[in-house]
Amino acid sequence: MRVWNWPEVAFGLALLAATPAGADAPPTCQGKDLTQVAGLAAARAKRADDLINGDGIFWRIEKPGLVPSYIYGTIHSTDGSAMALAQRAAERINGSRIVATELGSMDAVERADISAAVLATALDRDHDTFTGVPENERGGIETFAAAQGFPSELAHHLKLWFLAILTAMPACEAKRQAFGLPEVDQYLAEAAKAHGVKVIGLETAKEQMDVISTMRPEIAAALLSVAARAPETADDIYATMLQLYRESRPAEVLPIADVIGDMSEDERTAQDEFVRLLLTDRNATMADRAAPLLKEGGAFIAVGALHLPGKGGLIERFRALGFTVAKEW
């Protein structure tokens, strides 16, 4: 499954290979709208717990005696429509006491250093990392990796979790970011700095990398197999996610991803573990670190939109702390 809500540190993985050599303009991303695919009603019913608070990307957080805080669900994208929504949300930054994003404010050098550290962690010079991949699926995964900029000789020495994370980002978006186009989270951090508001991170780059690298090889192999069978699906999921984001209902991508791709039961299990790893398990950490900020009031929190909805999402976690959380849009 390609859910466009990976940890922010992971954006650098695709950028390592997405150099814009020979291109004179950023590409325009294309993809089909999947919001009307067959089987969605049953998939939504199964995902009912994940769709709680799924309608909304900008929420007000209140408690008597405190200046209101806000949480904005971001999308790691350079798309113009996504940036327009971020600019709307950023209007509430002026006057905030503090802004918290996933990793805080980073300059280009810091981002490059993180990308290099991730690649160093993922590289296994002494072993063929494809040994656990079924023989009949290796060719497709090699082709997929090469399309992302990692030729076969290198791909066979990259840990599978690294390659699996690449399935979440369509190549066109990686190339757009390689041109230096700002993405939503980066824009919000810069907007805060422009207003003289302190910016902090709710996670560290090492923590995000540690989460990614715990992905079991068999889970990564299953995700890669699905991606290799239908590489165009990344573009379709991305286009669909952007459409849902513009409509303030990004969580709807979860049931959509459940019914596409002609996946086996093992592959669906891998998909669910991927979602748990990248979303659910990180929500507890984010909520714990956001809590002191909310208790002082005047906080602006911006994290991936799929961290907000669901029984275990940030909206419900903040309500459990005694805050009133109401959708603005």
Split the chain (329 residues) into runs of 10 and give each run's mean pLDDT.
56 55 78 93 95 97 98 94 97 97 87 82 94 90 88 94 82 80 91 97 91 90 89 88 96 91 83 84 94 98 96 97 98
Q: Give CA–CA dist 163/158, Å, rounded.
A: 7
Is the CB of residue 255 less than 8 Å from the CB of residue 37?
Answer: no
Tokens encoding 103:
């990793």
State whether residue 200 is helix, strand or coil.
Answer: strand
Secondary structure letter of residue 133 according to DSSP? S
Is the CB of residue 288 less than 8 Å from the CB of residue 206?
Answer: no
Residue 313 sits at φ, ψ, to 5 deg, of: -80, 175
Q: Cβ–Cβ contacts within 10 Å for residue 43, how many? A: 18
Is the CB of residue 309 less than 8 Å from the CB of residue 251?
Answer: yes
Q: Give CA–CA dist 301/298, Å, rounded.
A: 10
- H helices of the chain, where? 11-15, 40-46, 80-90, 108-122, 135-147, 152-155, 160-165, 171-178, 184-194, 205-213, 217-229, 233-246, 253-259, 265-275, 281-296, 314-320
Q: Give CA–CA dist 282/47, Å, rounded.
A: 19
Q: Give CA–CA dist 200/189, Å, rounded.
A: 9
Instruction: Work out the widest C-alpha separation in the chain, in whole angstroms.
Output: 63
Q: Which of 55, 51, 56, 92 is nearest to 329 (CA)?
A: 56
List the strands of the sheet with 299-304, edge to edge: 198-201, 98-101, 299-304, 69-74, 58-62, 324-327
Residue 306 sits at φ, ψ, to 5 deg, of: -80, 0
Give the pLDDT confidence score for residue 2 in this predicted structure: 47
Q: Cβ–Cβ contacts within 10 Å for residue 272, how many? A: 14
H helix and E strand count, the chain:
16, 6
Secondary structure letter of residue 16 according to DSSP? T
Give the pLDDT confidence score for residue 329 in this predicted structure: 98
Q: Show Cβ contacts of residue 325 under 8 Å, excluding neighbours closer than 6 positions.
A: 59, 60, 61, 62, 71, 315, 318, 319
Give the pLDDT confidence score for residue 9 in this predicted structure: 62
Is the CB of residue 6 less than 8 Å from the CB of residue 168?
Answer: yes
pTM of the shown model: 0.91
Q: Which of 120, 114, 323 is nearest to 201 (CA)?
A: 114
Is the CB of residue 310 less than 8 Å from the CB of residue 49?
Answer: yes
199 exposed, middle or buried (CB, 10 Å; 0-12, 13-18, 19+)?
buried
Secondary structure letter of residue 158 according to DSSP? B
Give the pLDDT confidence score for residue 323 in this predicted structure: 98
